[in-house]
Amino acid sequence: STLSETLRLQVKAPPPRLITRRHDLPKPFEDAVLQALAKDPLERTATVEDFREALAAAWECSRDETGSPFVLIVDDEPGYRSLLTKLLTRAFPTARVEAVPDGTRALALARSHPPNLVLSDLDMPGMNGIELTAELRAHEATREVPILVATGVGGPRDWHVLSQLGADAFVIKPFDPLQIIGMAESLLARRAAWRPPPRSRRSS
C-alpha cells in the first residue's frame, strides 16, 4: 500500500541530496544536514546543540571555501584576455581568474565549476556573447551568475537583446580599467558568498 511504502522509504531510503535542488549550497552545509538526517542512530547528530555546532562549523568552512571568487573571462582576442586577467588579478588578489578564447569552452567550464562572475566579449567566432548568455541563463547551475559583456562593435540593440536574456551589464571597448574593476566589484558583491575587501587606492 501507499502507506507501507512511505514507511519503508522513511526507514530505509537515504535522505535526498540537497545539492540536487540547490546547486549553490556549500558542501559543508549539506554534510551537516545529511548527518542530522542519517537513518542509523549511531551516525546521526545526537542533539540539537550538536547540530547547531555543526552548522556553525559549516558556515566557517564555507566562508573559507568561497572567500576566493572565481572570475571567468571569455574573449577571442589574446590581448584583451591578457589585459583583463592582469587587471582583475591585481584588483582581486584572492580571486581565481581564468580566461578562455571562446564561448563553447566557457560554457563547459561554467557548468562544471559555476563562476562568481562571467566577463564575456560579444563578437566571437562560434558561440558569441549573446548565445553564451542565453546558454548560461538556461542552465540551473549558472542561472544566477552575474554576466558582464564587453564589446567594440555592439550597440543599443545588442544590449537590449542581452538584457532580455539576463545579462547584468554591458561595456564598450576600449574601456577604462577602473570602470571594469568597479563593475566587477559591484557584480561580485551580489553573490552572497563573497564580499569585496575595503576599497583601496588602485592604479590603472
Beta strand 169-172 with 117-121 is: unpaired
Q: Is the pLDDT of residue 118 over 80?
A: yes
- In 3D space, the residue among 68, 147, 132, 135 whose CA is nearest the CA of residue 101 turns out to be 132
> Which band of pLDDT confidence, cut at 50, 70 and 90, is reported for residue 107?
very high
Q: Which residue has the higher pLDDT, 19 or 129?
A: 129
Cell of 115: 563562476
- E-strand spans in the chain? 70-74, 96-100, 117-121, 147-151, 169-172
What pLDDT does 202 receive? Answer: 46
Name which of 4-8, 34-38, 125-129 the model is least confident about: 4-8
Q: What is the pLDDT of residue 195?
A: 47
pLDDT of 194 above 50:
no
Separation of alpha carbons 46 and 62, rounded Å: 23
Condensed to tens digits (0 to 9), the pLDDT of residues 134-193 reads 999 998 889 989 999 988 776 778 778 888 888 999 888 888 999 999 999 989 887 644
Length of the chain: 204
Check whether 48 has a pLDDT greater than 90. Answer: no
The widest CA-to-CA distance across the chain, in whole angstroms, is 71
C-alpha span between 84 and 73 (Å, rounded): 7
**Higher pLDDT among residues 27 and 22, named by residue:** 27
Tell me: pLDDT of 95 over 80: yes
pLDDT in tens, 55-77: 777 665 554 455 578 999 999 99
**Domains contained in the chain, CATH given:** 2-65 (no CATH), 69-188 (3.40.50.2300)
Phi, then psi, of 118 in degrees rounded to 5 = -115, 125
pLDDT of 200 reads: 47
Residue closest to 130 by CA, chosen among 162, 153, 107: 162
CB 120 within 8 A of CB 132: yes
The arithmetic mean of pLDDT across residues 37-41, rounded, is: 78
Rounded to an integer, what distance in angstroms lies between the CA atom of residue 89 and that of residue 81? Answer: 12
Give me the phi and psi of 173, to 5 degrees please: -85, 150
pLDDT > 60? residue 2: yes
pLDDT at 11: 64
